[in-house]
A and B are shown apart, each in its own frame.
Chain A
Amino acid sequence: MAANNYFGFTHGGTQYGAATAGAAYGGQTGYAVAPAATAATYGTQRAAATGYDTAYQAAAATQAAHAHAHAAAAAASAYDASKSAYYQQAAAAYPSAAPQPQPAYDTTAKPAYSTPATYAQNNIIIQGGGRAGAGAKAAYGSVYTATTAAASYPAQAYTAPAAQQAKPATNRGNSAYDTALYNAATMYVAQQNKTAANTGWKNYNKSGVGAGQARRPKPPPKAQQLHYCDVCRISCAGPQTYKEHLEGQKHKKKEAAAKANSSGGSGAGGRGSGGAALRCELCDVTCTGADAYAAHVRGIKHQKVVKLHTMLGKPIPSTEPTKLSADKEGEKEEDDGEEVQPVGQDYIEEIRGDDGKPQSFNCKLCDCKFNDPNAKEMHMKGRRHRLQYKKKVQPDLEVKVKPSMHQRKLAEAKAQRMLVRDEMWARRRMHEGIEDDERAYWESGAEAWWARGPLPPHMHHHHHGMSMGYGNVGRRPETSDDRHVIARHAEIYPEEQELQQIQRVVSHTEKALKSLSDALAEQAQSKGAAKPQVKVEDKKDDKPEGKEDGRDNQLFSFMGEGEGNNGGSGEANASGTAAAGTVARALKGVMRVGLLAKGLLLRGDKDVRLVVLCHDRPTITLLKRVAADLPQHLHRLKAPNDESKYKVDLLPAEGAVQVSDGTVNVLVSLTSAVMREPAEGGDAKRDDKDVLPRQKCLDALAALRHAKWFQARAASLQSCVIIIRIMRDLCRRIPNWTPLNPYAMELLVSGVMQSAGGALSPGEALRRVMEAVAGGLLLEQGPGLRDPCEKELVDALGNLAPQQREDLTASAQQFLRQIAFRQIHKVLDMEPLPKLKTGGGANSWKFPRKRRRSHTDHDHDTPNGEGKIGRTEEIKAEVADKPAIKK
């Protein structure tokens, strides 16, 4: 305890010295001299107990200057000294009792020499102690009374002993001094006495012999009794409570702790855990940091204590904190001070009260509030705040990593990374939301394709991880649009039965025409033998031998085998016939044209066309002849059980005959290549009355060319025929599209397909056609559709009226957007198809379908995409396979 108190005192002393002016310091130097003097005095006067008085006087003489010089301040330090002094007395002087005051003095006082004030006090106390049995008791009895006039009191206290030095024998003077200085300390003594059971202190107290006297010299302006417990540093309202306090558990505990500390030895290690602790001496409060200490000093508790102490006239240590575990902390403080710069001042907003004073602070980075500016400061230096600042404001800010936290930090960082990554993906997903969605749509139906079984071999030879686009160049998944187009196409495609019927009628007509041609030829040969009738040309191009009709959509020549074969083809040769000077058949051949040849028949189409090439200009006579004879030949061809009746109508205005079986109408036009040469037939052979209408003949010739063009160019383009069928259907349904003539439409579609530079799926193809029209291809400024079957520049569109062009374009524009927004069924005039159940696209990866691998027979034939989806299954299958492999 003593040590503890000395420790405290030492501080008090130094602090005092620092705090008060030079005068005080001077006093102390005075002291420094004093001990030597007293020591000498003691040496001489040791024998006499009373000799002390003189010694004391000597000391007091030196002291006097000091004490008087700085009254109040000195008192403050004196006070601190008093504590320790008193304890010494309690501990040493009392138990060892009066008879040997000197050793007591020596032992106890010596450490006190280090601090002069103690010296003085010790003297006094020891003196008091030495005379314990006598008058000092009275003095102590007066202890309980204290004055609140702290400033004046110490001065008085000092003066008293000074005065008393003249009559050292007077106990009263001495006791007064004691009373004045150590009122509080004495309470302690009281207690000590009680425990020590040396003498009944209380009795003295109660006896109050000197009490009245003692009280008298003190001027108590507002005489208020203070009951101050030094250990606990509290004041009690009254003696009773004070007593109770002293007997209380808390107090005892503290006391015991203090004692233990003192006996434990070293004062420095005595308190605190040795951390960065700062201690407020006054309140005996340990703070963990400078900020906390500052907060404490400003705090109401501390203020109270200060007030109390001021009242008591006790020395108030300066607010400089006491550092515990000094050296360690010193460095720490230093580098802390260096590097922790408060950051993010801008992010702390002040919430002001009505008076404009900041009431509280809100840190926007850390989302926390403080009411105290101090706390704000602390927060700004704090690790959490810095971390937030680093995270949210300045990524390169250095935040010291607590080593102990290292592990946790790592974990945190990891979690953070995960979070960030998730977030980033989420963001990206959000970004791509539309596209994913879109992709899902355009790729929906992928399943249908993938499920088709083993992949084509080329799929195996590249790395799938790299590009799926690459992998799908060859075969692209079906989109929803494709499915719609294909479904619609299936709807409009004629039924097998219908086709067969048409086929039969056409075939019969062709055969009948051939036999008619043969008959005519025979007739001509027999009749005009004079004419050198040698058949030269033949339409043998890729026509198989023994061809029975024009099923292959090529020219079905009526020439017999023996009729010569110059390998030419088409009408080009036909014109050369005459030059060859041979006798030609009147009817050289027949060819399917139009829908039939192009394969564009739709459900419900009943009208097909054949073109018969004549050797010479077809005449009405010839036409009539054909019309008259054809039924006969048709009848001959009929199967015995075929009851269908063919009807043949003569249509001279069309330059054609129409063969009909009631449902299917076959228009047989007569034409000739020579019709194209007006020069030849210009005026000379103007027996035009008989010749069929020229335009009709030319149309028929054009139809022939169109059919050939179609077969050569359009039919080979992927999706082209499908789309043309679809477009035909569209033109049939929608009035705006009706003006578009079929051939122009075919040109348009094939041009669009051709320009795509690659294969298009049906859905894409339809869309592209719409794009072309929507983009104004058919408008007046457009390039027009050049007819590839004409030598001159001819616009196949013909004379579309501006309004028609406008309407076509507008309609296509609307269709285009409908296709784009997944309403292709509206364009196609059909019910929307349900989504595929297997649902390719976006969700498929989430719910992978289990695939049986039965049809993917061998490992290397397994699609690479098999993946982990059917992993267990696969393994099972593999295991099942194994015996077989072994064998």
Chain B
Amino acid sequence: MKKLQSTSLNFSVLSFRSGVCVFVICVCECVAAISGNLRITTVKNSSIRFIIKGRGMPGRGGMGRPPFNRPRVLMLRPPFDLILAEPAFPRCKPAPDDTALTQALLKRHAELCPTPAEQAAVLSLVTKLQTVLDNLVVAPGDFAACQLEEVRQVGSYKKGTMMACKNVADIVVIMKTLPTKEAVEGLSNKVNEELNKLMRAEGLGNVSSACHERGFTVTAASSAVRVLVTTLHHNLRKLEPEVHLDYKVISSHLAAIRHSRWFEENAHHSSIKVLIRLLRDMCARHSGLEPLTPWMIDLLAHHCIMNNPARQVLPINVAFRRALSLLAGGLFLPGCAGLPDPCEAAHARAHTALDLPAQDHAAATAQTLLRVVARGGHRYVLGLQAFEGGKDISTEITVWDGVVVSPLAPAYNETPEPMDTDEKEDEGPDGVAA
């Protein structure tokens, strides 16, 4: 730019400086056409380095840019993962005998699998409900409360990861119209009516349907189906909090569809399903891990089983340890790349659905459990054996062969840390010493 000789060119380029300029060349030409005495030859492509960008400059790490179109690149590292770091940490002692853990895992899984009777009950209800809903999609008739676009099965039923005694299947209904509470109610009533007709025709017991903030649940004698209501994607922005179902709920239902599809394509291996059941059960029984959503667990299980250098399915005991180890190693902590969510826009992380205290608590719980399992306490962790009358082992100080395993204090503080608070890091060790 320095070499430019013409004032007019300087001026015109100046005006573009802060914003535009792949256009510089053509601007130069325009100016040349006007002024007629310009030497454009001095302008080289390479010496002009402006970027067309209306709003601020992205090159400054967010400076001068509105926050919205900031590239969602969190420069975060994946956590330390022993399986992936194998080359750096070659095993130098014989691997421990893990048959006990493997046996326990398999045993527990057998307990967690739903019985055929349960499966049949759910299947029957889901099939009927699907029929009813499909009819409403194809031929709504005089049903005017809403228009249905599509009906899909999602969730653990679809994925084949249902747990025993939790006979709740999920079906997502995509509405063409906007999901007002009235529409949901109307749909619920209609479905209830139609379904009861079907049930009567087959001589089965009645079903009942109850609305809630996600849609409605159809409950039969021994099973239930949650009908989750959502709407077309382009309708999302039309939602209003007081009229319609909650935006987050609606979009989570859309996400559920994506999740099911992803799962079908990527995570159909039965090892993954086994691990999912085990982890879900484990999470349900330890308060700190409760906030983990099924989707996070799916991703975690998939990661633990499949993501290794050899791309081979890992044995269940290795994967289980790995899952605990990853959680303990801060996979789901802030500042960690965590698990990328394959069903969201790039760089979305699965665990950000948890709030910070929950992330802390989950990590702390997993850390304690990891140490308990390391001491051979897997039977308690898996729930094969109740710990001291059903207490949560992740919150108790336990002694294993003289080794004291103590739970950890939370690290999350609501307020930015004042300087003179006592160091929490000493608490764990102190407990041990005592």
Contacts and interface: CB of A to CB of B under 8 A. Distances in A.
Nearest to B412: A821
B75 interface: yes
Contacts of B325: 775-776
Contacts of A439: 74
A471 B95 CA distance: 43
Nearest to A826: B423
A395 B238 contact: yes
A429 interface: yes
Looking at A467, A776, A874, the one whose CB has the most chain B CB atoms below 10 A away is A776
B330 A771 contact: yes
Given A347-B182, A392-B244, A864 B57 contact: yes
Contact of B360 (A429, A817, A844, A869): A817
Contacts of B104: none
A786 interface: yes
A871 B17 contact: yes
B238 to A, nearest CB: 6
Interface stretch (A566-574, A631-639, A802-810): A802-810
Q: Which of A432, A795, A813, A863 has the most CB of B within 10 A?
A: A813
Contacts of B352: 434-435
A776 B405 CA distance: 13
Contacts of B321: 776, 781
A832 B419 contact: yes
A764 B7 CA distance: 50
Given A771-B79, A781-B96, A809-B371, A477 B1 contact: no
Given A364-B243, A767-B335, A793-B93, A774 B61 contact: no
Interface string B92-119: 1101101000000000000000000000
Given A427-B247, A874-B18, A464 B75 contact: no
B68 A429 contact: yes
Contacts of B186: 346
Interface string B175-195: 011101011001000000000
Interface string B58-70: 1111111111100
Contact of B75 (A442, A776, A815): A442
Interface of A is mostly: helix
Contacts of A784: 91-93
B64 to A, nearest CB: 4
Nearest to A795: B92
Contacts of A820: 330, 333-336, 359-360, 363, 411
A786 B89 contact: yes
A471 B73 CA distance: 11
Interface stretch (A38-46, A286-294, A614-622, A750-758): A750-758
Interface in B261-279: none
A677 interface: no
B85 A818 contact: no
Nearest to A420: B237
Interface in A765-802: 767-768, 770-772, 774-777, 779-787, 793-795, 802
B417 A832 contact: yes
B355 interface: yes
B60 A450 contact: yes
A859 B73 contact: no
Interface in A863-882: 863-869, 871, 874-875, 878, 881-882
B237 A825 contact: no
A168 B394 CA distance: 120
A775 B329 contact: yes
A840 interface: yes
Interface residues of A, number: 125
B237 A878 contact: no
A869 B412 CA distance: 37
A348 B186 CA distance: 14
Interface stretch (B26-34, B48-56, B292-300, B383-391): B48-56
Nearest to B326: A775
B356 A821 contact: yes
B364 interface: yes
A813 B51 contact: no
A443 interface: yes
A395 B56 CA distance: 36
A867 B425 contact: no
Q: Which of B77, B87, B352, B355: most chain A Cβ within 10 A?
A: B77
Interface string B1-40: 1111101001000100111000000000000000000000
B65 to A, nearest CB: 5
A306 B219 CA distance: 58
A819 B330 CA distance: 10
Contacts of B3: 885
A148 interface: no
B74 A813 contact: no
B76 A442 contact: yes
A443 B2 contact: no
B18 A871 contact: yes
Given A395-B238, A775-B82, A840-B61, A465 B51 contact: yes
Interface string A438-478: 11011100100110000000011001111111011000110
Interface string A395-428: 1100000000000000000000000110111011
Given A785-B89, A820-B334, A840-B62, A866 B18 contact: yes
Contacts of A467: 71, 73
Contacts of B403: 802-803, 806
Given A423-B237, A813-B328, 7 more contacts: A395-B238, A771-B80, A771-B329, A772-B329, A775-B79, A817-B363, A865-B60
24 contacts: A394-B177, A395-B177, A396-B176, A424-B237, A438-B335, A460-B49, A465-B51, A465-B58, A468-B59, A755-B89, A760-B77, A777-B82, A777-B89, A781-B96, A781-B374, A785-B89, A806-B375, A807-B429, A810-B408, A817-B360, A820-B330, A821-B412, A865-B60, A871-B18
Q: Which 8 A-B pairs have the closest CB atoms?
A: A865-B60, A775-B329, A469-B73, A464-B59, A755-B85, A867-B57, A786-B92, A817-B411
